[in-house]
Amino acid sequence: RTPGYAAEGRRVREVWLKRIEELLPQKQAFYVEALVFGEDRLMDQVTLERFKKFGLLHAIVISGSHIAFLVFSLLYVLRKIRMTKEKRLDIVLILLPIYGWLTEWSPPVTRAVLVAIILLLGRRFHKPLDPVEVIAGVASFQLAIQPTVIYDIGFQLTVGLTLFLVLSRRLMGSVRRPWNWLLISAWAQFGTLLFLQGIEQTTVSIWSPLLNLLIGSWIEWVILPGSFILATLPFLPIRSTFQIAHQYAIQWMDQALRLAEDLPLAMVAVPAFSPIVLTIVVVGTGIAWFIAERRWWGHALPLILLLTAWGYTEWRVPEQITFLDVGQGDSIVLEKAGETFVVDTGGVYQQTTHPLLRPFDPGSHIVAPFLFTRGEAEIDGLIVTHADHDHVGGLLGLLRQVRVKTIYLGAYDNTDEKRNALIRSIEATGTRVEFVQKGQTIRPWLQVLAPTERKEEENDRSIILLAQIAKQRVLLTGDAGLAIEDELTIGPIDILKAGHHGSNTSTGEELLQKTNPKIVILSVGRKNRYGHPHPDVLERIGTNRIVFRTDEDGSVTCSSAGCEPMIK
């Protein structure tokens, strides 16, 4: 047993959480654990994606509003049992550190609890304090004792949003209710969007401000109180009717989010702005804030700035092909003539037989976020070279987040149960499926060189593509073997994506001689269990060609100016 104050708190917390999980259904237990203890281990992937899509993740983590609810609830109960004001405050001041101890003093909890304690102490000794100064002081104190907390996104967002809400009092007072609440929600969503632009891919929904008011209020005023009460289940008898009411409240919220996903513009991808463009938008938004306090049209300026920056970024998008680092698998993004195509979606080898609540999915965790940085929430086509898991494992995860007009499959790769199951899962999403073979052109610049007939070897049924993009001839061979490569009638190319992740069964000497690529891309996972790329393949490629490996160089983007790795 690990000794110490923190370790003992962790043990108490774990026993408490396990008891809650035994007494409540999984979904209900998740909300109790998340809202009361700041624990998200029961969050499933679908719930996570829905809350991220509408900017609602802040509503299901412990924040200042949760601590405020806890404080006011305790003060109300203590007042009802006839305690004096001083005793009520003393008891709450004792209980708050215990609560922080049980939640393991995460940065947002630490900030919220310390701010509450300082404000309560000021009230206890009849010395009102300025909330802005308290928040700034607590944030500075946290940074002084733990400087690395500045990298915690939760800390950054909660401090920023709390200061924003306090400073927005003048703005709220200049607009009538309930429109002021909606405007403040819109400003907060916009500010969060600009902040996240600098650190990760993001999307925006025009419905986020309204849903933050409706769903956020539902969580704060219905689900949160019920969660605090249900958290006492291991100690107090709670009637089953209350548990059922809490469960219905969660189901109604989930249903509302499901319906919201079908609304127009439910999710729009915002392209990643350059540092200069982002700086202009941030500075312009700050100016618009001061204008909005005096003139109504100031509220429209951030939207105008965003749309202008968006249009400018889209206008400057170059033709390019990107070989994404999806580990031991393939995923390639082609952008030309205002259209975007994806070739394969990667996959993950799972070593456990137990289904994971939030499995790593390259489709939703790598491919979709990259597309969002390009401003794409809908793409023109998705080409599945063949149905091996390392090429289609991220397919459904991608389809949950990105709309695809057409999915292309090989004409001879749909004759066994594995392929048929894949087709059924695609069709269940309502996405159109088209089968292609040698001689077809998906676009004038995207030609299909194979398959020509059904092959016994699954890899030899791969779709082989020749793309003419960014003034480069690019050959994508999937996992096709040496015999299929030898059948290809093709002249010199600029870029070759090595077949089968650098396996010795592909990228033969004959292919290299007749195509003579200047650049070879190897899409492989770091320390993969297959030993790819094979030493013989590297020897065949030789030293007179430029070689990029996703396991060493990260994602590789090729344009008319050449290829550039993510890791330099």
Residue pointed to by tokens 């958290």: 231
What is the C-alpha separation between 508 and 54, in angstroms, rounded?
49
Q: Average of pLDDT values for 153-179?
A: 70
**Signed CA dihedral, 23, 24, 30, 32: sign only:** negative
pLDDT above 90: residue 567: no
pLDDT above 80: residue 163: no
Selected residue with higher pLDDT from 81 and 251? 251
Q: Average of pLDDT values for 121-138?
A: 87
Question: Which tens digit of pLDDT belongs to each residue from 20-73?
Answer: 999 999 999 999 999 999 888 899 888 988 888 888 887 887 877 788 888 988
* Greatest alpha-carbon span in the chain: 91
Q: Average of pLDDT values for 170-190?
A: 75
- Name which of 324-328, 424-428, 441-445 the model is least confident about: 424-428
Selected residue with higher pLDDT from 198 and 180? 180
Domain boundaries, the chain: 1-55+205-264, 62-167, 178-203+271-316, 320-565
DSSP string, 489-558: -----SEEE-GGGG-TTSS-HHHHHHH--SEEEE---TT-TT-PSPHHHHHHH-SSSEEEEHHHH-SEEE
What is the C-alpha separation between 432 and 417, in angstroms, rounded?
20
Are the C-beta atoms of residues 397 and 347 closer than 8 Å to each other?
no
In three-state secondary structure terms, 554 is: coil
pLDDT above 80: residue 10: yes
Amino acid at 562: G
What is the C-alpha separation between 86 and 125, in angstroms, rounded?
9
89 is written with which tokens? 């405050």
- Name which of 191-195, 313-317, 354-358, 433-437 the model is least confident about: 354-358
Are the C-beta atoms of residues 463 and 385 closer than 8 Å to each other?
yes
Selected residue with higher pLDDT from 554 and 352? 554
What is the C-alpha separation between 73 and 88, in angstroms, rounded?
11
Are the C-beta atoms of residues 28 and 230 closer than 8 Å to each other?
yes
In three-state secondary structure terms, 389 is: helix
Q: Average of pLDDT values for 193-207?
A: 70
Q: For residue 55, which of 159, 183, 157 has the smallest C-alpha distance?
A: 157
pLDDT above 70: residue 437: yes
pLDDT score, position 475: 97
Q: Is the CATH code 3.60.15.10 the one for domain 320-565?
A: yes
What is the C-alpha separation between 284 and 289, in angstroms, rounded?
9
Query: 333 — alpha (psi -120 to 50), left (phi > 0) or beta?
Result: beta
Rg of the chain on CA atoms, in Å: 28
Cβ-in-10-Å burial (0-12, 13-18, 19+) of 226 comes to buried
pLDDT above 60: residue 198: no
What is the C-alpha separation between 187 and 305, in angstroms, rounded?
13
Q: Residue count of the chain, please give it.
A: 568
- Name which of 133-137, 263-267, 473-477 the model is least confident about: 133-137
pLDDT score, position 9: 85
Question: Measuring CA to CA, how many Å separate 508 from each of 61, 108, 157, 486, 499?
Answer: 54, 56, 52, 8, 9
Of the CA atoms within 13 Å of residue 137, those in its CB half-sphere come to: 12
pLDDT score, position 141: 87
pLDDT score, position 196: 65
Q: Percent of the chain beyond pLDDT 70?
A: 94
Work out whether strand 495-497 and strand 472-476 pair parallel, antiparallel, or are unpaired: parallel
Residue pointed to by tokens 């394969």: 344
φ, ψ of residue 432 to 5 degrees: the values are: -70, 140
| Beta bridge mates, 379 | 404
- Name which of 142-156, 382-396, 552-566 the model is least confident about: 142-156
Are the C-beta atoms of residues 234 and 24 closer than 8 Å to each other?
no
Are the C-beta atoms of residues 329 and 161 closer than 8 Å to each other?
no
Helix (H) or strand (E) holding 88: helix 85-102
Q: Band of the pLDDT at 568, cuts 50, 70, 90?
A: low
What is the C-alpha separation between 479 and 263, in angstroms, rounded?
40
- Mean pLDDT estimate for the chain: 87
Amino acid at 396: L
285 is written with which tokens? 């938004």
Q: For residue 56, which of 136, 147, 135, 157 has the smallest C-alpha distance?
A: 157
Q: Band of the pLDDT at 1, cuts 50, 70, 90?
A: low
Q: Average of pLDDT values for 137-165?
A: 77
37 is written with which tokens? 């203890």
Query: 567 — alpha (psi -120 to 50), left (phi > 0) or beta?
Result: beta
List the alpha helices (DSSP H) in 233-364. Answer: 240-260, 275-292, 301-315, 362
Q: Strand locations in 55-170, DSSP E?
A: none
Selected residue with higher pLDDT from 110 and 334? 334
CA torsion 84-88-94-98 (nearest 10°) is 150
pLDDT score, position 540: 94
pLDDT above 60: residue 6: yes
Query: 110 — alpha (psi -120 to 50), left (phi > 0) or beta?
Result: alpha
Are the C-beta atoms of residues 532 and 563 closer than 8 Å to each other?
no
pLDDT above 80: residue 171: no
Are the C-beta atoms of residues 134 and 119 closer than 8 Å to each other?
yes
Burial per residue of 231-265, b for 16 or more beta-carbon CB atoms within 10 angstroms, e otherwise? bebeeeebeeeebeebbebbeebeeebeebeeeee
| Beta bridge mates, 403 | 378
